[in-house]
Structure 1
Amino acid sequence: MGIIRVNINNRELTAQEGTTILKIALDNGIDIPNLCYDSRLKPYGACGVCVVEIDGIPKLQRACSTIAADGMIIKTDTARTLAARKVAFELLASDHRGDCRPPCVNACPAHTDCQGYVGLIANGQYEEAIKLVKDVIALPASLGRVCPHPCETACRRQNVDDPIAIAELKRFLGDVDINNGVFVPAVKKSTGKKVAVVGAGPAGVSCAYFLAMEGHQVVIYEAMPHPGGMLRYGIPEYRLPKDILDTEIDVLTKMGVELKYNVKLGEDVSVAYLNKAYDAVFVAIGAWASSSIGCTGQDMEGVLGGIDFLRKATQSEPIYMGNKVIVIGGGNTAMDVARTAVRLGAESVQLLYRRTRDEMPAEEIEIEEAEEEGVQFNFLVAPIEITGDGTRANAIRCQKMKLGEPDASGRRKPEPIEGEEITFDADLIVSAIGQKVDASAIQELTQTKKGTIVVNDGTFETNIEGVFAGGEAATGPKIAVEAVAQGKNAAKVINGYLNGVIIPVANPCFIIQEDLCKKDFDHVEKQNREHPVVVVPDKRKLSFSPIAETFSEEKALKEASRCLECGCHDYFECKLVNYIDKYKIDTKKISGEKHKRREEQTHPFIVRNADKCILCGQCIRACEEFIGVGAIGLEKRGFDSKVIPEFNLPLNESSCISCGQCVDVCPTGACMENEAVKKQVPVDFENVNSVCNYCGVGCNLVLQTKGDLVFKSVPDRSKEEGLLCVKGRFGINYINDESRIKTPVVTRNGSSLEVTLKEALTLTAKNLQLIKGQYGKDSVAILASPRFTNEEAFIMKKVANSLDTSFVGSMAYNDVSGMEAVLGCNASTNSYEELNSTDLIVSVGNIDENHPVMAVKIKYAAQNKGKLVSIAESKTRMEEYADLSIKPYNSTEFLKSFIKALFDGGYVNEAEVSNKAKNLENLKNYVKDAKDCGEAAKLAKMYGEAKKAIIVADDDMVTSDAYKLLADAAVITGKIGKAHSGIIVVRSSSNAQGFIDMGIKVPGKEILEQIKAGKIKAAVIIGEDPIGADYINAEILKKLEFVATFDMFMTNTALASNVVVPMGSFAESEGTITRSDRKIQKITTAIAPVNGSTVFDNLSQFGKYLDVNIASLSEAAEKLSAEIPEYAGLAVAEVEDKDIYVPNSTANTYGVQVLYTDGFNKEDKKAVLSLPENDKIFVDKKIYDSVQMKFNAYLKANGLK
């Protein structure tokens, strides 16, 4: 193909002919929105959001399906394209049912991720939950105690029973944080910028907290002697202990924030001074003045404002109360005043409210607890006059009221009952009907009629440049979390200002469900809400001690588990919500019929929601075009189109192979995975690149983690095809499995005892040394699963050497290597990449089922260039794409016929082969009597005529004798020892090739025969479960004098062992593995080891007790490189952080992709053609690895393929 030139947005670009506009744009970093595009799939053009303008073409064109032509001039973001995209997004949103964010998050003024931290609590991840809360809230323990929790008011759980106790869970987290040593957020490098914050209340503290995180130097000026604002002086001690508040605010000082007390703005320091001394100023002075009652006598001695009363009580100032206290108001402040008065010893506390109890704005729990403590409520009374004895107020005269029509607040308006009054005697009257801002001392800042500071909406800017204001100073009295939100948002704007740009804070655009009712939750099981333990009234009213206990861990876990998980689990990955916010889409602009279809969830891994589907078709196309299965399709047409499994079967009963590609390509939450945790939580994950730990294909993946849990495994789209099979995609639950062994176990005389790791390892080493000393060479065996790293395998082999045993191998090996017998090396001869350049691929075995990703590689390579032959014992999906499908009788007789046909067809240059191989004549005689077979002849013709051919063999099933004959065929036809021709052995385990290279290669059955014969007296079994696999019974292991099992789970083999040592998962490991085509890839640590030590640590320590001293991974890599010639370049490659092939060297760290280019791995460099006795081509696949066994059992239990 030729090169074309196009111009996109005035950038001159080049591309290959036949490339779409969208691909050219994306390849060059030019963003064009798209929802139905995947570079691996054919263009579809469904979503209509990628439209662009092309000079000379009047209509907008879809970039995903328009092939670029030479000389095209393209504009991506014009008025026309933006308008068209907005309409497209509005239409998509109009029938997209769901909640991008849950109601609790939307209702919280600070948009705290309630669903996120509640879910993390349910999973036992308190540290991660604390961090998530502190991304938004600086004072979780304090706010958890006092917040009136609008999040709970919005909670949809109340459609089932009661809302989630979100505030109590926040309090629980805050207390866990304090008790474990307060989490201090990371602070960025100093910017050199200084910010003054006026006021140490919720808004000021919040603003300072987030500015400090950005690396700015922050100084807080506070008028009072201590920080906290209304949290300290307006909230009684029994609700919020001040030591809790102080501990949380102290985090600011640890972040570098300086606090100056008893400094009042307008008196001790001016706005002008601060504006000159600092790069920015944030004014958050709060609302400290009490609202007036509005009746005569209100200024009399004996009348106090609610805030003044609470402040005096907090500061232990004298308050004359007498015996009778009247409190006016119906909000939480009024409750605090009344209950404080009770604790200060008032004999009678009466509360006056002009409406009824139903209209009281106070929280119901506050009202109930006030009643329990003896506060008397008088409803439908409004003050007319306060009277006194000339020196002090002693009574309040009130008008009786009735409720009329609702007012602007939605509450029924109180109206006077003509001629009806009532008088209450009082020694103290406290007005708690509201607060207001007193900014009279800072007149340079423009103020409203209500005394609040005027600020620009969304930017917090005042009339003075560089001076910002927020919290109650700007909004008037609000709940504390509103002030916290103001402070956080102001910090964001101020940070932008300090960096040269002011970006207004705006609420993101979301899709919200507003038509749900109780019927929609009929399927949810009722579960009682947890309540904190509250001190009995008669006791609690006697002091200011806390009245309620923080949730216990048990209660917190139960309560968190009640969350309905309303918010979309795909929020952090959803492309649609990102575009809706980016393009500021009004999601309610286009209204009309909206689907409401409950989806029955039958698949254990995949969750489907048709009401979030935008009909992009990616899932269908990926399943059909890419994977080649076609398990899903569209039913109906137009508005009612819906993606369904074939024949409308449940997905788990369809032909779905559970690879998860539908999930990976879905741009919304219509197709999602069940995470590998108890509680599904949409959070922003840490992404760690690693390699699948199941079969030897070595698929690249990304482990998505949060704290100490692995939530997801997704394909690494940056490498190769970006594919995983069911094992790599969903086989990670075992990592978080609570049944993992966490402590070593020693069994003596039928009794098991938990011991330390050191005790277990020293006991194992001592017993092995004793047996070696008593019985000599080869009296000890090591059986290990090839799922461990090269570095770990290297230590295992060193341990075997120390124990003087040659019996070190794995149950994963069916037999001795047939490849090695012929070629001199048990390894693939070519790389995966070469499949795309060969003329013919011969697939041997059930690769499609055992190694699905390799099957996709083969399928694509064959479709793009070459031909495909499938040889299998039974029907496989591979034959659907094969040019020739063969299901021979399971005997090597077929392969002998194949070789005979190669000779008969003239495809063997005998003179040339004689120079490269031995036994040619013997081979010719060996096959001469083979029965002629039409299929063998067809195969020979295709293989013989192909200039280049690669055989891909399934090591799970292909026998040693079959390998010998396949290698014979490759040698005699010259289709080996050169690029694009050879044999690829697809291994059963992730590092089987690496284990072979490390010298761990004795077939397990040979070791077991030696155990039965009584030659082997002790065994170390690592990660394998031969008893659980029904290969042997426990009686065989009883022949051994000592057995140690190293594993993650208490397997049947572990139960029959003397010592059991816990091991880690690949997510906790680091090192390298060698995949089936000899490419070395890196395993990266994703989470901290669950047991406190890694597999390498355990093996290193074990080796130390047997005089094998390898203390670190780097030391292992160095020694491995020095001692194993084929890995000589490993240590260098690790430093350079790159993948390499085996063999490699210090001079060639990239390694060799093609083996035998200069002869075979024999002394004379000649292959030794093999003449095996008649045997089977295939054997049944058998799994011995404990992790694979566990996952296979799960698949079987759920009826999955």
Structure 2
Amino acid sequence: MNFTINKSIGVTTEIDGQGVQRACETKQAEGMSVTTQSEELSSRRQTALNKILSDHYADCEAPCQTACPAGVDIQSYLYHISQNDHQKAVEVIKRTLPMPLSIGRVYPAFCEAECRRGLVDEPIAIRQLKRHAADIDLKAQEAHVPEKKPAKGKSIAVVGSGPGGLTCGYYLSNEGYNVTVYEAMPETGGWLRYGIPEYRLPKSILDKEVELMCRNGMEIYTNKKLGEDFTLSDLSRDFDAVCLAVGASKTVEMHYTGSDLDGCYLGVDYLKDYVTEHKLVTGKKVAVIGGGNTAIDCARTAVRDGADTTLIYRRTRDEMPAEDYEIAEVEHEGVKFHFLTNPSENIADANGRVCQVKLEKMALGEPDASGRRSPKAMGEFFIEEFDTVIAAVSQKADLSFLNNETIELPLTRWNTSDAHPETMHSGVENIFSIGDFRRGPATAIEAVADGRRAAQAIDRFFSGSMEKIPAKEFNSQKETKLKLVAPEQFAAIPKVMRAVMPELSSEQRALNFGEVELGFDNEAAITEAARCLECGCQANKDCKLRDYATEYKAAETDLENEAKQKFCVDDSSEFIVFDANRCISCGQCVQACNEKAVHGVLSFMTNADGTPAQRPECRPGFDGVNMGDSKCVQCGACVQACPTGALVDKRDKAQGRIELLTPVETICTYCGIGCRLTMFVDKAKNKIRYVQGSEKSPVNQGMLCVKGRFGFDFINSQERLQTPLIRKEGQLVPATWDEAISLIAEKFTAIKNEKGGDSLAGFSSAKTTNEDNFVFQKFVRCEFETNNVDHCARLCHASTVTGLEASLGSGAMTNDIPSIKHSDLIFIIGSDTSSAHPIIGLHIKQAVRHHGARLIVADPKKVDIVAHAELYVAQRPGTDVMLLNGIIQQIIKNNWHDQAYIDERVEGFDALKTEVMQEAYSLEKVELVTGVKASDVLEMARLIGTAERTAIYYSMGITQHTTGHDNVRSIANLQMLCGNIGIEGAGINPLRGQSNVQGACDMGALPWDFPGYQKVEVPENHQKFAKAWNKPNLPAKKGLTLTEIIDAACHEQVKGLYVMGENPVLSDPNQAHVIEGLEKLDFLVVQDIFLTETAEYADVVLPSCSFAEKDGHFTNTER
């Protein structure tokens, strides 16, 4: 397949005398001087990246995370909640936000305002889900506390125990610093305690959260006021660093006539007094002035105090800075509103207390520089009776601590600290400023963000690298704001409305400060979290495009965003998601699919005239259909090749991962090919996250089939056996290992003593390791004292062993897998190779495509690999010997056989010739019996006979026959006739069904052979193993085969059976016969990873380890 190169992609270099050249197009020359980094190259790479990114409609990070001031990885923790793993969710949250219990109850959800789910139905309940996960973590036996690093030997003072100060102290104490927090008030929490009412944040919850934050050594001292109990100079001298988190605890006053009357309070003072001294009396009719969250909290507090409350705001509801849900709540609780209204005068009664307020009507003017429409007085007034007026319009920092201070902190014109926005450094000595003291009045989540940033900067401060601010990663965004995102791309997503958190009713809230929000039940939380659209890229921490964009300073402002194409995400297939928006048309997936895996499913689309479509504008596709409707086999080669997250594993939520995964090399166990793979394991969860093919393996060269890449869920299945089971009163019930092993020993010993060792038998397994098989056959022979041991290869490949052993002396495959590419001709018979052994299939297809091999396929069914064949014939089932012998006859007739090879290496040629040269194998008779045209038989003979080297591949289509042995002998005869044994790229290649058929046989899990195919009836072999195993009375006669053991059980000759990793009830063709035999046993033990159909008949069931949970070896099909 030919396709053009995306010229935007590739590495450019400077070469002396040639200027800037593409590295991949430049030939090496002696004395060549190559420059790989320069300003010119950086500029060109930046330009190239900007071009690519201009058509890259994707989000590196989820927009909710971008909107969050603390940068919380929301998408990740929502995923963990959806998986019912709340502690992992909290672990994710606390990487950037250490107070989810509190913040999850009170913060304004900036994230929800940018949630793309809102374009489908409603934004996800992100804030409430954070609180849900934290509540569950709090109730856990061990709530999440990060591991504390070794002591650093430095001390830090933090002034203020609000969310910013606590956060700074939390992260510094985790890093191993000694942290002391000083709080002016009697209790910790700052505004969270004294400004947030109990009905929003119960103080018992806040106390528990602070206690959790202090577990790594942070110490807090209350009633310690800066400027009175100590000075800033004292702290700067006595501590290695100081962080000022003093907040904005003073209210900005409203200066109008009567604003200082009795009954007129400031919002911050009112809320603080309500939870401390209760000096401020709430009247019967309260006016609250302001539109922010503090005004809302004052109004809701007054309502709970029994007051008729009205909120007065000089703009409209749409301009209110309070959160929408807070406004809805205050309405729900009966608070009235006067919009476009402002107080102009408070009027006193005879006692000097406010009794009326004169209010002026307002109108909105033109928008100012910030975009807000300024209110204008209309000159119209009205008077309303109020006996309490609470002004809650803004707040400011209390700077009294600077009055007698020798240190001069730089301040802004708003009287906030003029600290660096990235390092939080105040500009003076070792002092840092955060939160409202730096920003002015802001939110708790913004204070948290400052606290973490300050902790990081203080850590760098001690190493002298404070100014080395980590480079900000490039963050591709579909759009900067939700309102700019085209909703059409979400049209196919089913609507699922947002879960509503249960709340106290209006009646329950009256005169009651109980928490209003009652929390989700777990099922509702899981369902709600699963609504996440997972906007952030799964590859955002492993993306070369993002790395290069960061390195070469690609900027969103330089991108031609109008050129971006928009595609619907294709999640129609089982295991892979294709998001063409993230694709850069590099072609690596097309290369993997077409050239490496040779599936030919992915391709770049072509124009109507057949010419290649323009790249990079063109994206790879599946011949105009969705992946799920295409011929894609889900092998995942494209996923492993994709550098940008356009093609990803549907189940591996990599963006939810916070831990380093441990790569574990192992072998795939789905067939006998022996593909090497790497499992990436989350050791903390003891769980495989994803699998990749090993590029180092000559067997699979990084490729895997769908089972090898995605079929590992069974390892962590909840249905795995966890404990032994013993049958009691007809039921299998859990037991201890000691109880199970004692019972097994007792029962097998009793049967052996009463009826002899040959009344016992064992089924070993071709799915477990060489070591397991060796020990098992030794156990049967030494402890049962019988050779009645076999495994399921008896049902599928016994004919291979007997046929090849009779012909060649060994039942093993004669050639290795890498030599396939050296084949001149490949003959597949009785094997649906692409389906049953896909990696062998791709090697064969590569040999045909890239190395000039020719392919013949003979199978009653037109299997997939026929599409790559030069010749396909469909013989009638059961006529393989006739077809093969007919081919042999034509090869001999036309003198295409290798007589020199025969003379030197082969015996019995004359007997073969006498047999096959009979009229019974003539072309006409072969056609009559097999249904294959005579001309095709002759052509097969010509191709095989004249080829330099022919490789034959077969599987169960040859062996699982009554004539299986004869089928294999005919294959062996054909290959010896043409001299194809013992040369590279040729040979006889049986494809094993299970992962360790070869190893199980090699290890002696056979009734006639000791390990290494040493016959049990040969005295020398018997003596050797009896001595090695210290077992003088080792059995010396052949044992029963697997099928014979079942027969013997039916005849009550075998009374005890140990089955390890086999399931004869399912695998034997005569299920009723097997069940009859099992039911007649006196005692049956089954060892497996699941309660199999066979295990359901057992007296004792033992759990087993899967391949991923133990060490050992497999011997693959090519031994």
Report the TM range for the smaller structure's normalisation: 0.7 to 0.9
**How far 1:609 sits from its partner (Å)?**
3.0
Deviations 1:153-206 (A, max 9, x none): 222222233221111111111011111121111233344444433332222222
Distance 1:661 1:1070, change over 3 A: same
Question: Does structure 1 conserve the Cα–Cα contact (< 8 Å) formed by 2:490 and 2:568?
Answer: no
Q: Does 1:630 align with 2:600?
A: yes
Q: Which moved more, 1:925-934 or 1:66-75?
A: 925-934
Q: Which residue of 1 aligns with 2:417?
A: 453
**How far 1:1018 sits from its partner (Å)?**
4.4
Question: Does structure 2 conserve the Cα–Cα contact (< 8 Å) formed by 1:41 and 1:621?
Answer: no
Corresponding residue SS for 1:592: helix
Alignment partner of 1:490 out of 426, 448, 454: 454
Q: Which residue of 1 aligns with 2:85?
A: 125
Deviations 1:1018-1070 (A, max 9, x none): 44445444444572324531332354544455554455555655656444x12
Alignment partner of 1:513 out of 463, 472, 478: 478
Aligned-partner Cα distance in 1 for 2:143–2:220: 19
Distance 1:929 1:584, change over 3 A: same
Q: Does 1:561 align with 2:530?
A: yes
Deviations 1:413-443 (A, max 9, x none): 33333141324432x5433222112234246
Q: Which residue of 1 aligns with 2:647?
A: 671
Alignment partner of 1:462 out of 426, 432, 443: 426
Question: Does structure 2 conserve the Cα–Cα contact (< 8 Å) formed by 1:570 and 1:682?
Answer: no
Q: Which moved more, 1:174-183 or 1:616-625?
A: 616-625
Q: Which residue of 1 aligns with 2:712?
A: 732
Alignment partner of 1:586 out of 534, 555, 559: 555
Question: Does structure 2 conserve the Cα–Cα contact (< 8 Å) formed by 1:886 and 1:935?
Answer: no
Corresponding residue SS for 2:651: coil
Question: Does structure 2 conserve the Cα–Cα contact (< 8 Å) formed by 1:623 and 1:661?
Answer: yes
Corresponding residue SS for 2:157: strand
Question: Does structure 1 conserve the Cα–Cα contact (< 8 Å) formed by 2:362 and 2:378?
Answer: yes
Alignment partner of 1:235 out of 166, 178, 196: 196
1:33-112 → structure 2 map (5 Å cutoff): 44=5, 46-58=7-19, 60-112=20-72
Aligned length: 1025
Deviations 1:1065-1109 (A, max 9, x none): 444x1212324168xxxxxxxxxxxxxxxxxxxxxxxxxxxxxxx
Letter in 1 for 2:538: H
Q: Which residue of 1 aligns with 2:898?
A: 905
Distance 1:748 1:862, change over 3 A: same
Letter in 1 for 2:993: S
Question: Does structure 1 conserve the Cα–Cα contact (< 8 Å) formed by 2:315 and 2:364?
Answer: no
Alignment partner of 1:688 out of 657, 663, 666: 663
Aligned-partner Cα distance in 1 for 2:818–2:462: 51
Question: Does structure 2 conserve the Cα–Cα contact (< 8 Å) formed by 1:898 and 1:936?
Answer: no
**How far 1:282 sits from its partner (Å)?**
2.8
Corresponding residue SS for 1:638: coil
Q: Which residue of 2 aligns with 1:334?
A: 295
Question: Does structure 2 conserve the Cα–Cα contact (< 8 Å) formed by 1:790 and 1:1071?
Answer: no
User: Structure 2 unaligned runs (5+)?
Assistant: 608-612, 922-936, 1008-1040
Distance 1:184 1:883, change over 3 A: same
Aligned-partner Cα distance in 2 for 1:603–1:347: 60
Distance 1:76 1:198, change over 3 A: farther
Question: Does structure 2 conserve the Cα–Cα contact (< 8 Å) formed by 1:281 and 1:466?
Answer: yes
Corresponding residue SS for 2:1113: strand
Alignment partner of 2:266 out of 278, 292, 305: 305
TM-score (norm 1): 0.76
Aligned-partner Cα distance in 2 for 1:196–1:973: 87
Q: Which residue of 1 aligns with 2:633?
A: 657
Q: Which residue of 1 aligns with 2:790?
A: 809
Aligned-partner Cα distance in 1 for 2:886–2:738: 56
Aligned-partner Cα distance in 2 for 1:549–1:464: 46
Q: Which residue of 2 aligns with 1:614?
A: 584
Aligned-partner Cα distance in 2 for 1:830–1:714: 26
Letter in 2 for 1:571: N
Distance 1:256 1:829, change over 3 A: farther
Distance 1:228 1:1034, change over 3 A: farther
Aligned-partner Cα distance in 2 for 1:996–1:534: 67
Letter in 2 for 1:262: N
Q: Which residue of 2 aligns with 1:1136?
A: none
Indicate the percent of aligned positions where both proteins have the same amino acid.
34
Aligned-partner Cα distance in 1 for 2:908–2:10: 68
Alignment partner of 1:1036 out of 1062, 1065, 1074: 1074
Distance 1:134 1:762, change over 3 A: farther
Letter in 2 for 1:1071: D
Alignment partner of 1:363 out of 290, 299, 323: 323
Deviations 1:730-752 (A, max 9, x none): 22344455565667766777767
Corresponding residue SS for 1:535: coil
Deviations 1:539-582 (A, max 9, x none): 33444332222211111112112222233333333332333333
Question: Does structure 2 conserve the Cα–Cα contact (< 8 Å) formed by 1:142 and 1:174?
Answer: no
Question: Does structure 2 conserve the Cα–Cα contact (< 8 Å) formed by 1:676 and 1:710?
Answer: no
Deviations 1:827-878 (A, max 9, x none): 5566556667899987776344422223444565788889677675466676
**How far 1:291 sits from its partner (Å)?**
1.5
Question: Does structure 1 conserve the Cα–Cα contact (< 8 Å) formed by 2:585 and 2:620?
Answer: no
Distance 1:430 1:323, change over 3 A: same
Aligned-partner Cα distance in 1 for 2:330–2:720: 50
Q: Which moved more, 1:691-700 or 1:1049-1058?
A: 1049-1058
Distance 1:198 1:118, change over 3 A: same
Alignment partner of 2:313 out of 339, 343, 353: 353
Q: Does 1:154 align with 2:124?
A: no
Q: Does 1:595 align with 2:592?
A: no
Q: Which moved more, 1:867-876 or 1:215-224?
A: 867-876
TM-score (norm 2): 0.82
Letter in 2 for 1:633: S
Deviations 1:572-626 (A, max 9, x none): 3333233333333233531334323336654222322333322212222222211
Question: Does structure 2 conserve the Cα–Cα contact (< 8 Å) formed by 1:696 and 1:1076?
Answer: yes
Q: Which residue of 2 aligns with 1:1195?
A: none
**How far 1:957 sits from its partner (Å)?**
5.1
**How far 1:710 sits from its partner (Å)?**
4.0
Q: Does 1:1073 align with 2:1073?
A: no
Distance 1:503 1:748, change over 3 A: same
Distance 1:156 1:454, change over 3 A: same
Alignment partner of 2:102 out of 142, 158, 162: 142
Corresponding residue SS for 1:577: helix
Letter in 2 for 1:1038: E
Q: Which residue of 1 aligns with 2:693?
A: 715
Q: Which residue of 2 aligns with 1:22?
A: none
Alignment partner of 2:444 out of 468, 480, 485: 480
**How far 1:145 sits from its partner (Å)?**
0.9
Aligned-partner Cα distance in 2 for 1:391–1:1044: 95
Distance 1:229 1:986, change over 3 A: farther
Structural RMSD (CA)? 4.1
Alignment partner of 1:853 out of 835, 839, 854: 839
Alignment partner of 1:539 out of 498, 505, 508: 508
Corresponding residue SS for 2:562: coil
Aligned-partner Cα distance in 1 for 2:471–2:246: 23
Q: Which moved more, 1:112-121 or 1:61-70?
A: 61-70
Aligned-partner Cα distance in 2 for 1:844–1:768: 45
Aligned-partner Cα distance in 1 for 2:450–2:389: 33
Q: Which moved more, 1:188-197 or 1:287-296?
A: 188-197
Corresponding residue SS for 2:214: helix
Letter in 1 for 2:665: S
